[in-house]
Amino acid sequence: MSDPNAPTKPLGPLVDLDEWETAFEPAGHSGEPASAKTTFRDYRKNVRPGVREFYRLNHTHQTLDFVLAKKREYLPRKKRVMTVWEAMEFLNTLIDDSDPDTDLSQIEHLMQTAEAIRRAGHPRWFIVTGLIHDLGKVLCLFGEPQWAVVGDTFPVGCRYSDKIVFAEFFEANPDSSVPAYQTACGIYSEACGLGNVHLSWGHDEYLYHVVKDRLPEEALAMIRYHSFYAAHREGEYTHLMTGRDKALLEWVRKFNSFDLYSKGEDRPDVAALTPYYKDLVTEFFPQPLAW
Ligand SMILES: [Fe+2]
Ligand SMILES: [Fe+2]
């Protein structure tokens, strides 16, 4: 029997779970928001083969059926009962091939994001959203491969936007040969609302369901759509959105400017910050949550 408390390595080609995010930053890990849109599209030049392979797997296997099966598996939330703080510690048992001297741990990334939001003077619900936004990555610890946990998310059951990174890999997705899934609206209807659209399965959608009764709607949009770059960065899929979705995406954009991966001096002092963040977590999540 394997030890259930032993550190787990995520299954997949990425060196670390955040490599898909940092790989496309024009200035590497600077943490600056991507300034030049044109640079963002030039990702193919320097991208590591592992990131490319990650997207090949993601785009090949994220079908509508796969997403529906994962929802049936995870949305009953019967895997574990954990407080938010326990989930943070659990997530940190994930070990990857990144360099611990230069790359941030999961808790460091969460605190760095939350600290940037706090420094900007935003309310406590916004700060706690920054602190928890990636906790859905515990999916890796439940045995999910990287391509079913991280990466840009996109709607399934309708046509793929060509603005999605490595969109050419969708050719290998079985849904590409289902005509009903390849019209602009696919199985959905115009302006049906993003809440009715199935996005590719990953940490965003999962965490949204875990915390959806505990945070304001703006916070829930940030959690649910922060990897939906085709929408919040590229302006795609507006035909499926309501006016409210469009307004909420502005909050997602605001959030994304704080979702940083900077190193060095900006590295948060986890021990010093822990008391503040334990209080904050208790304020919003006094009880353990079903995961
Ligand atoms: Fe994320
Ligand atoms: Fe993040």
pLDDT tens digits, residue range 149-159? 999 999 999 99
Ligand nearest to the CA of 112: 2
Separation of 113 CA from ligand 1 center, angstroms? 11
* 20: pLDDT strictly greater than 90: no
The amino acid at residue 170 is F
pLDDT tens digits, residue range 110-121? 999 999 999 999
Higher pLDDT, 105 or 283: 283
* Banded pLDDT at 8 (limits 50, 70, 90): confident
C-alpha–C-alpha distance, residues 109 and 102, integer Å: 12
Q: Minimal CA–CA distance to 198: which of 167, 235, 222, 228?
A: 228
Ligand nearest to the CA of 202: 1
* 272: pLDDT strictly greater than 80: yes
Ligand nearest to the CA of 104: 2
Helices 217-225 and 243-256, interaxial angle, to 10°?
70
pTM value surpassing 0.85: yes
Helix (H, G, I), strand (E, B) or coil at 94: strand
Separation of 181 CA from ligand 1 center, angstroms? 27
Separation of 42 CA from ligand 2 center, angstroms? 22
Q: End-to-end distance of the chain based on CA atoms, in angstroms?
A: 24
Q: Residue 82 — φ and ψ, nearest 5°?
A: -145, 150
